[in-house]
């Protein structure tokens, strides 16, 4: 090979380098795949990712939407309702869950005693009682009322069916072990923390002790009327005239009732319903104790009242005041009724001085009753309303 040819071969690479269009300064390595550089491939990949990004985002949003629906439903059904406000007394709040726990607590106590728990108006009664318990708790310092942890222990023991005779028995190991076992089983059945139902018990005890304070203001000796009842299946005008005539002529009331009353128990009690003070029979108190403009009793002695129809028993009822006593000692049953009435009046007056809020509508009623029914151990019948007239136990 000549010297000229050799020099031509040495100069050829320089010509190729100058003519290459893909070479740029700073590119030290170029990988050719399908005629594309690495930079071009990265650029194409970025463009493809940008094109597919809306589809990926849409899929993620759809997936999140599918997950949100059941999560939202779960929170709406199981998390939010129990936390919603049901009752507030000043700064103390009770949620729907608190109300359900309170009803369940009383439900378990009733069932343990073998008494069917009647739901009926349990929501309203629970809200009312919780409110009164809280009012009693907040009013307690004014009346010097206190409840110790030992008081709560003793009350809880009685609920569980344990009543210690003396301090020695209460402090014995056997007694304590039995109580603890009964408590453990009760907590398992009731399904709530001990601190929760202990607070229910504690505040209910404040209410009961306030009730004792109210009872001390009620006179034990008051004016009372002696009531009798005559039962008739129909409103027989002639029979009623015969009864009224016998009453006016002074025949013994018991004999008149034995002759004319259709009450199946008439031979046992002679229609005697007992002595009643004002406040025990609110529906007829004004009639039994009221006076007209001339100072005469609205319900004279030995006179029949207007007939009252008892839908449940399907008969007509007539009351007769046998006698009136200006000062007679009230029996225990009527005194308890008067104390309950007095406590109701007391709370009604005190409510004016407190900031109160109670939520009671069909939604919370249905929700609470559903929770209570789900936890019932035995059937929970709803009592049917009675439109008949009945007297509380007198004496």
- Considering only CA atoms, give the Rg of the chain: 42
Which CA distances in Å does 393 have to 151, 180, 285, 334, 335? 32, 39, 15, 8, 11
pLDDT-derived band of residue 373, with 50, 70 and 90 as boundaries?
Answer: confident
pLDDT-derived band of residue 390, with 50, 70 and 90 as boundaries?
Answer: low
Q: Is pLDDT larger for residue 254 or for residue 388?
A: 254
pLDDT at 163: 82
Q: Give CA–CA dist 101/201, Å, rounded.
A: 12
Q: Give yes or no for a contact between 88 and 356, defined as CB atoms under 8 angstroms apart.
A: yes
pLDDT-derived band of residue 144, with 50, 70 and 90 as boundaries?
Answer: very high
Q: Is pLDDT larger for residue 243 or for residue 26?
A: 243
> Quick one: which of 208, 224, 223, 225 has its CA closest to 336?
208
pLDDT at 333: 96
Q: What SS3 class is residue 289?
A: helix
Range scoring the smallest mean pLDDT among 53-57, 200-204, 259-263, 321-325: 53-57
Q: What SS3 class is residue 341?
A: helix
pLDDT at 65: 66
Q: What is the mean pLDDT of the chain?
A: 82
pLDDT at 369: 78
- Specify the length of the chain in residues: 395
pLDDT at 8 over 60: no
Q: Give CA–CA dist 352/374, Å, rounded.
A: 37
Q: Give CA–CA dist 269/258, Å, rounded.
A: 9
pLDDT at 167 over 80: no
Q: Give CA–CA dist 52/46, Å, rounded.
A: 10
pLDDT (mean) for 298-319? 93
pLDDT digits (tens, 9 = 90+) for 77-112: 444 567 788 899 999 999 988 998 998 888 888 877
Which CA distances in Å does 364 have to 86, 232, 375? 8, 44, 17
pLDDT at 339 over 70: yes
pLDDT (mean) for 287-307? 94
The first and second tokens of residue 241, run together, are 């005239």
Strands across the sheet containing 85-89: 92-95, 85-89, 356-358
CB atoms within 10 A of CB 329: 14
Exposure string of 139-170, with b = 16+ CB inside 10 Å and e = fewer, is bbeeeebebeeeebeebbbebbebebeeeeeb
Q: Is pLDDT larger for residue 36 or for residue 199?
A: 199
pLDDT-derived band of residue 381, with 50, 70 and 90 as boundaries?
Answer: very low
How big, in percent rounded to 5, are the helix, strand and coil portions of the chain?
55, 15, 30
Q: Give CA–CA dist 29/336, Å, rounded.
A: 103
∠ at Cα 136 (134, 137), nearest 5°?
Answer: 65
Percent of the chain with pLDDT over 90: 51
pLDDT at 128 over 50: yes
pLDDT at 115 over 90: no
Q: Give yes or no for a contact between 162 and 182, defined as CB atoms under 8 angstroms apart.
A: yes
pLDDT digits (tens, 9 = 90+) for 228-281: 999 999 998 899 999 999 999 999 999 999 999 999 999 999 999 999 999 999
Q: Is pLDDT larger for residue 68 or for residue 324?
A: 324
pLDDT at 161: 86
pLDDT (mean) for 332-352? 96
pLDDT-derived band of residue 25, with 50, 70 and 90 as boundaries?
Answer: very low
Q: Is pLDDT larger for residue 113 or for residue 34?
A: 113
pLDDT at 328: 97
Q: Give CA–CA dist 30/20, Å, rounded.
A: 12
Q: Give yes or no for a contact between 184 and 157, defined as CB atoms under 8 angstroms apart.
A: no
pLDDT at 118: 65
pLDDT at 28 over 60: no
pLDDT-derived band of residue 74, with 50, 70 and 90 as boundaries?
Answer: very low
pLDDT (mean) for 212-237? 95
Q: Give yes or no for a contact between 89 and 131, defined as CB atoms under 8 angstroms apart.
A: yes
pLDDT at 67: 62
pLDDT at 322 over 90: yes
Q: Give yes or no for a contact between 328 and 222, defined as CB atoms under 8 angstroms apart.
A: yes
pLDDT at 317 over 50: yes
CB atoms within 10 A of CB 383: 9
Q: 226 pairs with which residues across the strands?
A: 275, 323
Q: Give CA–CA dist 96/83, Å, rounded.
A: 6
């Amino acid at each position: 090979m000549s010297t000229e040819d050799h020099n031509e071969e040495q100069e050829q690479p320089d010509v190729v380098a100058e003519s290459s269009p893909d070479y740029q300064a700073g590119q030290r390595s170029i990988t050719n795949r399908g005629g594309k550089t690495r930079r071009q491939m990265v650029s194409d990949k970025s463009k493809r990712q940008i094109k597919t990004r809306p589809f990926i985002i849409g899929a993620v949003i759809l997936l999140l939407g599918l997950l949100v629906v059941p999560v939202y439903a779960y929170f709406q059904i199981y998390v939010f309702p129990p936390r919603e406000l049901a009752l507030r007394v000043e700064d103390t709040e009770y949620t729907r869950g608190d109300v359900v726990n309170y009803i369940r607590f009383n439900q378990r106590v009733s069932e343990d005693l073998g008494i069917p728990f009647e739901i009926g108006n349990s929501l309203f009664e629970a809200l009312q009682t919780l409110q009164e318990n809280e009012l009693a708790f907040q009013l307690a310092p004014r009346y010097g009322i206190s409840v110790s942890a030992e008081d709560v222990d003793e009350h809880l023991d009685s609920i569980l069916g344990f009543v210690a005779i003396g301090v020695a028995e209460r402090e014995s190991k056997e007694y304590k072990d039995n109580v603890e076992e009964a408590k453990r089983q009760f907590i398992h059945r009731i399904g709530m923390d001990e601190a929760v139902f202990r607070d229910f018990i504690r505040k209910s005890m404040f209410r009961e002790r306030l009730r004792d304070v109210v009872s001390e203001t009620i006179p034990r000796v008051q004016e009372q009327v002696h009531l009798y009842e005559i039962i008739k299946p129909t409103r027989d005008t002639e029979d009623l005239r015969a009864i009224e005539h016998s009453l006016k002529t002074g025949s013994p009331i018991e004999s008149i009732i034995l002759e004319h009353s259709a009450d199946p128990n008439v031979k046992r009690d002679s229609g005697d319903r007992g002595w009643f003070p004002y406040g025990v029979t609110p529906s007829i108190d004004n009639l039994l104790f009221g006076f007209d403009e001339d100072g005469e009793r609205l319900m004279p002695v030995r006179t029949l009242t207007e007939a009252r129809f008892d839908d449940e028993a399907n008969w007509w009822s007539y009351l007769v005041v046998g006698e009136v006593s200006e000062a007679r000692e009230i029996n225990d049953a009527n005194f308890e009724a008067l104390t309950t009435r007095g406590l109701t009046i007391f709370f009604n007056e005190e409510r004016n001085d407190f900031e109160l809020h109670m939520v009671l509508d069909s939604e919370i009623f249905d929700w609470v009753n559903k929770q209570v029914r789900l936890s019932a151990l035995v059937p929970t019948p709803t009592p049917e309303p009675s439109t008949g007239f009945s007297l509380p136990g007198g004496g």
